[in-house]
Amino acid sequence: MKILELPLKKEWYNMIESGDKREEYRALKPYWSKRLVGVDKPLFSYRYGYQHANVKGYTHVRFRYGYTKRTMLYKIDEIIIGRGNANWGAPTDKDVFIIKFH
């Protein structure tokens, strides 16, 4: 089991905990590209049609309430690049990493 650790703000943590939100977003920036894909240029592969972004093989995501000990663990369905739900915190004008889980 390979776990991706993600701290969240109260609003998003509570939405996930209640079951209202089933995907989390991260910006297409070098930091997240390196962490999720293994390279710092995510758009290179995206431009050539490779939308699946979980090449580092994460199987689970652990959400942490800020930097406290309160956590939740979910199985990752997939990590892709695309447009997310604005009601769940995704920008409306940019593609992002979408971490889908159940």
Q: Return the structure tokens found at 88.
A: 């769940």
Domain that holds residue 94: 3-101
Burial of 27 (0-12, 13-18, 19+ CB in 10 A): middle
Binned at pLDDT 50, 70 and 90, residue 53 comes out as low
pLDDT of 42 above 80:
no
pLDDT at residue 38, as a whole number: 74
Least-confidence region, from 3-7, 25-29, 52-56, 78-82: 52-56
* CA dihedral angle for residue 99, residue 25, residue 41, residue 49, rounded to 10 degrees: 60
Q: Which band of pLDDT confidence, cut at 50, 70 and 90, is reported for residue 48?
A: very low
Q: What is the pTM assigned to this prediction? A: 0.86
Q: Write down the H helix ranges in the chain.
A: 10-18, 30-36, 42-47
Task: Look at residue 7 and tell me whether its pLDDT is greater than 50.
Answer: yes
Per the structure, the count of domains in the chain is 1
Cα distance between residue 85 and residue 88, in whole Å: 5
